[in-house]
Structure 1
Amino acid sequence: MSNVCLVHSIVGVVVFRNVFRLGLNTAHAVLRRVGYCNGKLDRRNCRHAHSEAGPKKFVCYSLPHRTLIKVQGQDTGSFLQGLVTNDMDLLTKGMQTAMYTHMLNIQGRTIFDIIMYSLKAEQEGETRLLLECDSSVQDALQRHMKMYKIRRKVTISPCADLSLWAVVPRDREGGRGDERPELTAPEKALVWELDPRTKTMGWRLVTDKLLNPLELMGDIQQGETEHYHRHRYNIGLPEGVKDLPPGVALPLESNLVYMQGISFSKGCYIGQELTARTHHTGVVRKRLMPVRLSPPAQVSAEGADLCTESGKPAGKHRADVGEVGLSLVRLAQARETLLLKPSPDTTLTVKAWAPDWWPKDPKAK
């Protein structure tokens, strides 16, 4: 018998001894709660009580910094094919139900990072998608798409009535990373997909704004959004305008290949030329990498230059939460201890590393 069940048995004896003091109804309620019924220990209730008392397997994070846009219509696939780095056939032909991608400007620099989710079609021949993007560029993304829409049969609309959540295993090192949480009411989830960027990011959940996701899963608790960002930075995964500044970030330096966000065999799209040329030459001299700051930054270090201890330029810092963050690091100096000056009188040491989910041989990709 486990320790917790032994405790429950002792509680049962104590309650019976005090039945007259507690009152019969109160005593029965307490015993049912601890799993004691008709003089026997109910092991199922015992396990249930133990699971409630112990830590949950999964953590659910609200993502207010991300928003959703619905794109639907007969021409949705062909329309977006000319705007995004990834192959829309993966979604329109049912090979995937979630896909990561970027939209680029004509100079080949990232302007929007997007996760696409396929929805069930309402009419035959129609494609319905949800586009997840940074909430601060929602209007800009809609304008960008409408500028290229012309006469295509596509409608574009925001989804203010939906909420987006990330569900991540608590024990990411203990073999639970591939264990999928079970939904008690799957029909209430508009989207329930493995994060297409890397499985270390868990799952994406889209629900009605009025629904609490904790009602859909049993072994889960809600976490703070800041901890979600810490997790992202610890594994080196960029997301949104802070990590991928529009018109500045280059897709290959931002590890778009590693995140399954680009196709080099699809047709033309805006910004393709520079990206394809860089890929085929195989020369990527800088990459976004997770970094640890010592001491943690007390003032904003976003955009500050990195240098080696000898003063040689080594890249730029992008963003951080406390002691962890993301920096664009020159690969030639990535193994060195780097320096960062967020202010004239402050110098931080920076240590970069390659995440476990990157390919072992980066040159292979």
Structure 2
Amino acid sequence: MSHPHRQTFLQHLSDEQSLPSQTDINPDLQNQTALVPLDDRVVLEVRGPDSDRFLQGQASASTAHATSTIAPPAVFCTPKGRVIANVQIIRVTSECFWMLLDRSIAEALHQHLSKYAAFYKAELTLRDDLGIAGLVGPQVGKVLDPALAALPQAMWGVRVSSDEALAVTRHPHDTMRLMVIAPHERLATICQAASSDLVLAPSALWKRLDIEAGLLWLDEQQREKWLPQMFNWEALAGISFKKGCYTGQEVVARAHYRGQVKKRLMRFTISGNEAVTPGTDVVDTDRDKALGEVVSSAPAADDHVELLAIVTTKDDIPSLSVNGQPAHLMPLPYALERLDPETLTD
């Protein structure tokens, strides 16, 4: 799937240009701009005269939602409505889309979509030549403004450079955070130009911000395990209930309109300083019964760990624990209700 000898954008930096490293997973984001290498993400490109029509029949978001200013989230499902992968769709040109997703699941999606792409003038390519990095902090505009006319301001907003080789998209969180996609050498050049304003931060920081935003990116372990509503994808504008058919659409729509979603993504904290292994049970301590499982976690400040777990829904959440530690339910930053992608604007 990937090229083991590919040179990442950080390797393009010389020793003199290397960035100060920040091992702290809680940098001072009020005064520092953190650069987070996201080697666990990759772009699956769809290119060709039929790329728009091809994606329209497979993705939960309409290709009409992917514009010059919005890069909508979407899922690709099995006929039974189970999610193979969730992605963000970036329209680069009228005949080219970049789909941003977790690297571990990209080959499975590639193979799945290839079965359908054979009937269209559309070519699928895993773009290992593209580097992906997260930027978070007060100076993101200073870092990127020279490359773009304007930065995306709204959730899932996007800007693509005039030469179509650089894309910047804004991901959900109260703190301004952007994901930057560009060829490794170009990304290195951006880092070099802004090196005095950047501190290198670990990927655990980006994962913690995703958790705080109630945002789960499925990996290989979670492939074909959940309906999209089980990880709140419709609340993040990831499902259109107004577009035409796509693979799995009937099951997804039926679950929505009949209220058949019995599991939900929830956010918790527990004491500790180490991430929890995905798949770890979330236990009803009163009955010693597993009600769900951890799907993402990251250490945070003050000796606690942030968790996302998919848990059986109940009116009253019982006393829960993870690895024997009390699990404290935390609020999500969005309402558990449908947010139509048609309403997204930047």
With the shorter chain as reference, the TM-score category is 0.7 to 0.9
- Taking the aligned partners of 1:207 and 1:95, their CA distance within structure 2 comes to 17
Deviations 1:150-196 (A, max 9, x none): 231111112121101122236xxxxx99x78642233586102223x
Distance in 2, matches of 1:90 and 1:298, equals: 36
List per-residue Cα deviations over 1:73-124 (Å, max 9, x = no partner): 1111110111111111112xx374412111111110111111111113xxxx
Decide which structure has greater helix share. 1
User: What is the aligned partner in structure 1 of residue 169 from structure 2?
Assistant: 193
CA distance 1:140–1:202, shift in 2 (3 Å): same
**Aligned mates of 1:364, 1:154 — CA distance in 2:** 31
Distance (whole Å) between structure 1 residues aligned to residue 211 and residue 31 of structure 2: 23
Cα deviation 1:256-293 (Å, max 9, x = unaligned): 11211110011111111111011112343321122112
1:183 match: 145
Q: Is the 8 Å Cα contact of residues 70 and 131 (structure 1) preserved in structure 2? A: yes
Structure 2 CA distance for aligned equivalents of residues 314 and 87 of structure 1? 34
Do the aligned partners of 2:276 and 2:294 also contact (CA within 8 Å) in 1?
A: no
Distance 1:110 1:198 in 2: 24
Cα displacement (A) at 1:339: 1.8
- What is the CA deviation profile of residues 137-162 of structure 1, one whole-angstrom value per residue up to 9, with x for unaligned ones? 22222211111112311111121211
Question: Does the alignment pair 1:99 with 2:67?
Answer: no
Report Cα offsets for 1:11-47 as digits up to 9, x if no partner: xxxxxxxxxxxxxxxxxxxxxxxxxxxxxxxxxxxxx
Aligned to 1:67: 42
The residue aligned with 1:145 is 113
Shift of the 252–143 alpha-carbon distance from structure 1 to 2, 3 Å rule, reads same
In structure 1, C-alpha distance between the alignment counterparts of 2:92 and 2:208, rounded to whole Å: 30
User: Counterparts of 2:275 and 2:332 in 1: how far apart (Å)?
Assistant: 25
Alignment length (residue pairs): 289
Q: Is contact 2:117-2:123 (8 Å) kept?
A: no
SS at match of 1:257: helix
Change in Cα spacing, 1:145 to 1:115, as seen in structure 2 (3 Å) is same
Cα distance in structure 2, aligned partners of 1:315 and 1:117:
33
2:232 is equivalent to residue 270 of structure 1? no
Report the CA distance between 1:240 and its aligned residue: 3.0
Bigger shift: residues 347-356 or 297-306: 297-306
- Aligned-residue offset at 1:198: 5.7
**Matching residue within 339, 359, 363 for 2:321:** 339
Change (3 A) 1:228 1:363: closer
SS in 2 for 1:139: helix
Could you tell me which residue of structure 2 aligns to residue 289 of structure 1?
266
Equivalent pair of 1:314/1:333 in contact (CA under 8 Å) = no
Displacement after TM superposition at 1:64 (Å)? 0.4
**How far off its partner does 1:350 sit?**
1.1
> How far apart, CA to CA, are the structure 2 residues paired with 1:216 and 1:56?
19
Do structure 1's residue 247 and structure 2's residue 224 form an aligned pair?
A: yes
Q: 1:300 to 1:155 in 2, by over 3 A?
A: closer
In structure 2, do the counterparts of structure 1 residues 263 and 167 end up closer, same or farther at CA, with 3 Å as the change threshold? same
CA RMSD of aligned residues (A): 2.9
Asked if 1:77 is matched to 2:52, the reply is: yes
Q: Which amino acid counterpart does residue 246 of structure 1 have in structure 2?
A: R
**Deviation at 1:201?**
6.7
Counterpart in the other structure of 2:179: 204
**What residue number does 2:310 align with?**
328
Write the letter of the residue equivalent to 2:106.
Q
The reply on whether 1:157 has 2:112 as its aligned counterpart is: no
Larger radius of gyration: 1
Question: CA 1:79 to 1:363, structure 2 compared with 1: closer, same or farther past 3 Å?
Answer: closer
Residues 295/276 of structure 1: CA separation in 2 closer, same or farther (3 Å cut): same
Q: How many Å apart are 1:297 and its aligned residue?
A: 5.5
Runs of 5+ unmatched residues, structure 1: 1-53, 121-125, 171-175, 342-346
Q: Is the 8 A contact 1:308 1:314 kept in 2?
A: no
Q: Which has the higher contact order (CA 8 A, sep 6+)?
A: 2
Alpha carbons 1:334, 1:353 under 8 Å: kept: no
Partner of 1:214: 191
Contact 1:307 1:313 survives alignment (8 Å): yes
Q: Percent of aligned positions with the same letter in both sequences?
A: 22
SS at match of 1:112: strand
How far the C-alpha of 1:315 sits from its partner, in A, is: 2.1
Q: Deviations over 1:319-349 (max 9, x none)?
A: 32231221112332674430234xxxxx222
1:30-71 per-residue CA deviation (whole Å, 9 max, x = no partner) reads xxxxxxxxxxxxxxxxxxxxxxxx974532211100011221
1:201-224 Cα deviation digits (max 9, x unpaired): 722211221232423547433321
Question: Which of these residues, 324, 331, 335, is aligned with residue 354 of structure 1?
Answer: 331
In the alignment, which residue of structure 2 is the partner of 1:228? 206
- Residue equivalent to 2:4: none
- 2 CA distance for matches of 1:157 and 1:301? 29
CA distance in 1, matches of 2:322, 2:86: 27
Superposition TM-score, scaled by structure 2 size: 0.74
